[in-house]
Amino acid sequence: MKKQTGNNIPMILLSLLFVLDVFLVSGYFYPDAEGNFWVKMLAFPNRYEVQEEYGELADENMEEVLPSESEENPETTGDIIGIIEAEAEEEQKDNDQEKVITIEDVQALAGSMEISYANSLFIGDSRMVGIKKFSGLEEGTFYADTGMSIYNVYRGEKVEGYPRKIKLEDLLADADFDRIYVMMGINELGYHFDVTKSHYDEFINFLREREPDAEIYLQANLHVTAKSSARDSVHNNEGLDKMNEMLAEYVDGEHIFYMDINPMFDDENGALDSEYTGDGVHVKGKYHAAWLEWITEETAFIEAWLALNGAKE
């Protein structure tokens, strides 16, 4: 009896010492960016706990990279309207007798356009898969899968009409596309932003080289709900907004355009409205028809503008 109780004190002290060690060790790992990553790998994902610490670190980093004012980018049809107005003003100033294109002209033409997706290519992640499955779209080629990102987009996917998985470059060589819609960005959030950006530069060039006549329509990444965003130190709306701003910068007004669906599904705080989603991340099946309709309208507007501009020259 005495021997056993004699053993108790050392055991208890040892346990307390262990706990103390753990506190020291975990406190030491915190500030070190590399160390954090390793600890995260070993640990069960206590994202909820991590958010508080990492959230601050992430914010610090983001302040350096985010431009303080967003630059003038012709990012949506809204801004194309801006271009139209600016050009109209210039025309007026030059006192040119040639016809000036107005917004109404573009809208009139767009309204009469029939958009066919027969020669369109859709590249993207699970949100793009959602459009494939639920929008009711029956034409077009989809090169999309859950988890797609510019880090794995070249590897190959199962595409309808091809017997085996086909690589993106082979697909682009095999068929001619008039439009390429791209939606990728959320799966890249875990990687270093600058590395992602340089990969995206490569990707855009890749597409432009192989389909020089096609229009590229970059789609903004869909927001997640406020709740999902708060829980995740990586896949949240701040990161998505940053990614979307990067995408908007590629617009050149000739071949590369940008479309932002978010105003349609957002709540008043710029997060995905929980009414539209079941899991906080994807829009419910039944809303995809409206999404497709919106894409069609935006596409028509941009193509109408391009047509009128081309005719003018």
Partner 1 sequence: MVFSSLQFIYIFLPVFFMVYFLTPAKDRNVILYLGSLVFYTVGVIECPWYLLLLLSSVLVDFAAGLAMGKGKKRRTFFLIAGVGYHLVFLIFFKYMNQFIPENNWLLPAGISFYSFQGISYLADVYRKKCKPEPSFLKVATYISMFPQLIAGPIVTYDEVADHLDKRRHSKRRFLKGMEFFIGGLALKVLLANPMGSLFTELGTIGYESVSTPLAWMGILAFTFQIYFDFFGYSLMAIGLGYCMGFKLPKNFNHPYMSKTMTEFWRRWHITLGRWFREYVYIPMGGNRKGGFRTLINLAVVWFLTGIWHGSSVNFLMWAGFILIFILLEKLFLRKIMEKFSLLGHLYMFLLIPLSWVFFAITDFSSILVFMGRLFPFDGNFGVYPGDYLEYLGSYWYLFIPAFFLATPLPYKLYGKCPVALKVVGMLVLLGGATYCMFRGMNDPFLYFRF
Smallest gap from Cβ 130 to partner 1, in A, equals 8
Q: Say which residues have a Cβ less than 8 Å from residue 245's Cβ, sequence separation at least 6.
A: 66, 67, 70
Report the chain's terminal Cα–Cα distance, integer Å: 101
Interacting positions 43-82 with partner 1 (CB under 8 A): 43-51
255 binds partner 1 per the rule CB under 8 A: no
User: Quick one: tokens of 288?
Assistant: 């995809």
- Pull the structure tokens for residue 45: 């994902």
**Closest CB to partner 1 among residues 130, 140:** 130
Under 8 Å CB-to-CB from 193, ≥6 apart: which residues?
Answer: 65, 242, 246
Radius of gyration (Cα) for the chain, nearest Å? 25
Q: Is 126 in the site for partner 1 (CB under 8 A)?
A: yes
| Structural contact between residues 273 and 265, judged by C-beta atoms closer than 8 angstroms | yes
Kindly state the number of chain residues that form the binding site for partner 1, as judged by CB under 8 A: 52
Which residue, 37 or 154, is less far from partner 1 as judged by CB?
Answer: 37
Site for partner 1 in 268-287 (CB under 8 A): 278-279, 281-282, 284-286
Contacts of 124 (CB under 8 A, 6+ apart): 144, 148, 181, 182, 183, 184, 219
CB of 219 to partner 1, least distance (A): 14
186 binds partner 1 (CB under 8 A): yes
Binders of partner 1 among residues 128 to 167 (CB under 8 A) are: 130, 133-134, 146-147
Q: Which residues bind partner 1 (CB under 8 A)?
A: 1, 4-5, 7-8, 11-12, 14-16, 18-19, 22-23, 26, 37, 39, 41-51, 125-127, 130, 133-134, 146-147, 186-187, 189-190, 230-232, 234-235, 278-279, 281-282, 284-286
